Amino acid sequence: MPKTNVILVGPMGAGKSTIGRLLSAELDYPFRDSDRVIEERTGADIPWIFDVEGEEGFRDRETNILAELIEADGLVIATGGGIVQRAQNRELMHRGGLVCYLTASIDQLVERTAKDKKRPLLQVPDPRAKIRELIETRDPLYREVADLVVSTEKRSPRAVAQEIAERVRAANAISGH
């Protein structure tokens, strides 16, 4: 069965939302950002959900939204950085589409997230150490679930989106979709 959704995974600051929007235009697929869907449904932002429900409560919401989104056909889905932590989510992504892991160096991730106060896990004294710790834990999980691994390091989001679109088209041509 051909994979029709494109699911973007990777750490905070890798460019999932930005590249996802561009990729959606490139492929002419609707775009969904799992974090934005959660915020729309709850009427609250992610930091508030973390404060009130804790990380576990947020992760439950994330799993439910992912399960719903992958039922669609032909979406570009940007996911939250920690979505790969649950085996259930990795299985959903594996079944739900072509998974693309966006990578970048620690320096790039720190630079891209430095001014963003909406990332609850980075509201710590040493965000660089936190990013390094998250990458060490999550990188093997991103690689486990990924069909494609694409670096966003010092590249324009448009160039990355075009590369992914070409690879998706090639994969769909091979699978006869």
Q: SS in 3 state form for the chain?
A: CCCCCEEEECCCCCCHHHHHHHHHHHHCCCEEEHHHHHHHHHCCCHHHHHHHHHHHHHHHHHHHHHHHHCCCCCCEEECCCCHHHCHHHHHHHHHHCEEEEEECCHHHHHHHHCCCCCCHHHCCCCHHHHHHHHHHHHHHHHHHHCCEEEECCCCCHHHHHHHHHHHHHHHHHHHCC
Residue 75, domain member (yes or no): yes
Q: How many domains does the chain have?
A: 1
Residue 175, domain member (yes or no): no
**What pTM was computed for the model?**
0.91
Residue 94, domain member (yes or no): yes
pLDDT tens across 107-122, in order? 888 887 776 666 656 6
CATH assignment of the domain containing 59:
3.40.50.300
pLDDT tens across 42-84, in order? 999 888 998 899 989 999 999 999 999 999 989 999 999 999 9
Residue 69, domain member (yes or no): yes
* Domain of 65, in residue numbers: 6-170
